[in-house]
């Protein structure tokens, strides 16, 4: 199966700072998604972004499918952005139904 590497593993910011989270895939993927796991454990969909760029408020994401990576940008971070961010994708070969997740980036935003 594919391997998913996320960086950095941990990130600590002051409120108002910007940050970039990265997700690298070992092979071509379909159905690339970003999630935010809040402190209560719930995984919230942020973006479905197999390619290109999308923006939603202070968050945006870019996927360069040919180079097998995706970036999540958080601007003007707030304490409510704290939590763990995951990316996931399914292998583009073999008709896989199984999304493979990275180990996540743990973000703490201090007031």
Partner 1 sequence: SQTIHQWPATLVQPVGSPLSLECTVEGTSNPNLYWYRQAAGRGLQLLFYSIGIDQISSEVPQNLSASRPQDRQFILSSKKLLLSDSGFYLCAGGTGGSGNTIYFGEGSWLTVV
Query: Half-sphere exposure (CA, 13 Å, Cβ side) for 94?
Result: 11
> Cα–chain-centroid distance for residue 36?
8
> Rounded to the nearest 5°, which phi and psi values hold at 96?
-65, 140
Whole-angstrom distance, CA of residue 39 vs CA of residue 80: 9
Q: Does 88 bind partner 1 (CB under 8 A)?
A: yes
Beta bridge partners of 79: none
Whole-angstrom distance, CA of residue 87 vs CA of residue 63: 11
Q: Residues 11 to 70: which contact partner 1 by CB under 8 A?
A: 30-31, 33, 35, 41-43, 45, 48
Q: Closest distance between partner 1 and the C-beta of residue 94, in Å?
A: 13
Q: Does 103 bind partner 1 (CB under 8 A)?
A: yes
Stretch that binds partner 1, among 12-20, 62-70, 71-79, 81-89 (CB under 8 A): 81-89
Q: 20 or 42, CB closer to partner 1?
A: 42
* Contacting residues toward partner 1, per CB under 8 A: 30-31, 33, 35, 41-43, 45, 48, 84, 86, 88, 90, 97-99, 101, 103-104, 106
């Amino acid at each position: 199966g594919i391997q998913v590497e996320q960086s950095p593993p941990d990130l600590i910011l002051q409120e108002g700072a910007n940050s970039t989270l990265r997700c690298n895939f070992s092979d071509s993927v379909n159905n690339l998604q970003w999630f935010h796991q809040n402190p209560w454990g719930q995984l919230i969909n942020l973006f479905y972004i197999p390619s290109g760029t999308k923006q939603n408020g202070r968050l945006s994401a870019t996927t360069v499918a040919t180079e097998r990576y995706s970036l999540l940008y958080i601007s003007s971070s707030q304490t409510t952005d704290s939590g763990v961010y995951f990316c996931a994708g399914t292998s583009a070969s073999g008709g896989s139904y199984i999304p493979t997740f990275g180990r996540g980036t743990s973000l703490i935003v201090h007031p």
